[in-house]
Amino acid sequence: MGGMTVTARVAGAACWAELDAGDSADLDAVTAFYGAVLGWTPDASPSAEHQQLAVHAGGVPVAALGSPGAATPPAWTLYLAVDNVDAAAEALEELGGQVLHGPEDDLAGGRLLVALDAGGAAVGLWESDDALPAPGPGRLCWAEAASAEPGTTRTFYRALFGWEIDDDDEDGAGRLVCRGEDGRALAGLGLAGDALPHWLPVFAVADADAALAAARDAGGTVVTPVSEGPRGRQATLTDPAGARFGVIRIPG
């Protein structure tokens, strides 16, 4: 990653996102949408064989298009960092999860898998020696899980990663969080009542209002409008195919 500022890779940290856009997806249209909203540029060199295309933000690979079919309809799959993906595969099944694809080698010396967690949400696990890029526009900066079975899901992630309950969380939710070596929260588990289980990848933007407007202009929809959240101005959007993602403004 050259001289780029990086963040230590912590087990359980959100490290990658992958869009299953469906077999009939127009990849040019998909990349054009995310280019308009997040400033992404396509790269023909994906990180794993099942991926069709990688995308970069500021010269850094941040996400990919094309997944092993874990998500129907089109949806994002979030990947969490692990130290040993084969050991994690055994552990997650013992905890009530189910491996859907892998473990398999990636194209850069690491290994990955896609699974269902104990609450039924699709999630990827990725073992790699690469550090995480520092937060920047277009890059994954947060991830939020929703679960219809919050107790089961809390137990799963606490046991798998050692995540902790954050009773001092700024929004008062007392959510389950993964923290980096500097104490910064890197991912969180929210409680969503009867919502379909899913992970929501959240990407950094310089201007959340501008990102929302760009998404509308490019055929996306607004799930939750821009509002002030504990981590900055944020919104939840969908792309034209209905895949949900979030944006948060980070200081420039």
Which of 11, 19, 14, 10 is CA-nearest to residue 37? 19
Spatial separation of the C-alpha atoms in residues 48 and 32, rounded to whole Å: 22
Q: Per-residue pLDDT for the chain (252 aa), expressed as one digit of tens each? A: 333 344 566 788 888 999 987 766 788 899 999 999 999 998 867 666 667 788 999 888 889 887 655 456 788 999 999 999 999 999 999 999 999 988 999 887 889 999 999 989 899 999 988 877 777 899 998 888 887 787 888 889 889 988 876 655 554 444 667 665 666 666 666 655 556 788 899 999 999 999 999 999 999 999 999 998 877 899 999 999 899 999 999 875
| DSSP category for residue 156 | H
Q: How many domains does the chain have?
A: 1
* Domain-embedded: residue 1: no
Q: State whether residue 221 is helix, strand or coil.
A: strand
**Which residue segment(s) compose the domain that 208 sits in?**
6-249
Query: Quick one: angle between helices 208-217 and 27-38, nearest 10?
Result: 150
Spatial separation of the C-alpha atoms in residues 119 and 10, rounded to whole Å: 23
* Domain-embedded: residue 230: yes
Predicted TM-score of the model (pTM)? 0.87
* Domain-embedded: residue 110: yes
* Domain-embedded: residue 24: yes
